[in-house]
Amino acid sequence: MSRDNDLVKLRPVLQITAHEKTSSAEKFQNDVLRPILKFQNDLLCLMFLHTPFVIKKDFSKKHEDQKRSIISDVLKTDQKLKQEIIHCITSLMTIDEYNHFLESKSEYSKRIISMAIQRLKDGLTKNF
């Protein structure tokens, strides 16, 4: 089997209803980015929790709204973490998907970070 086939088989299957007017970017987001983000969720949470700023803020002792704010603040300012998250997601793309990503790299990078912020907020504010 090829690398591309193996990668696609690893991804969770998500039930997302596509509409007739779904843009190419939305289709890519739903078919590629969301499943990879879900697959990498535990790793993303661990990466976030081990950033120096989060450790200094004693994240686990904060209230839910404070945690949400910290997540947003860190991912708006920590360029290294943002790049690590983007690389964590793009490394699990097929060659064709990665080529498509490169065509609109800036837009897809923003989408990845936005979805990662939401995943972290959902996963870390209640469970940690």
- 64 within domain boundaries: yes
Total domain count for the chain? Answer: 1
In whole angstroms, what separates CA 122 from the centre of its chain? 12
Please give the residue range of the domain that contains residue 34: 24-127
pLDDT tens by residue, 58-101: 888 899 999 999 999 999 999 999 999 999 999 999 999 999 99
- 86 within domain boundaries: yes
**Pick from 51, 50, 44: nearest CA to 79:** 51
Q: Which residue has the tokens 């696609």?
A: 8
- 73 within domain boundaries: yes
pLDDT tens by residue, 109-119: 999 999 999 99
Round to whole Å and give the CA distance between 48 and 33.
19
Q: What number of CA atoms fall less than 13 Å from residue 41's CA on the CB side?
A: 14
- Please state the φ and ψ torsions of residue 99, each to the nearest 5 degrees: -60, -40
pLDDT tens by residue, 32-54: 999 999 999 999 999 999 999 88
List Cβ neighbours of 68 (8 Å cut-off, separation of 6 or more): 121, 125
Round to whole Å and give the CA distance between 103 and 95.
13
pTM: 0.88
17, 50, 109 from 27: Cα distances, Å:
10, 32, 15
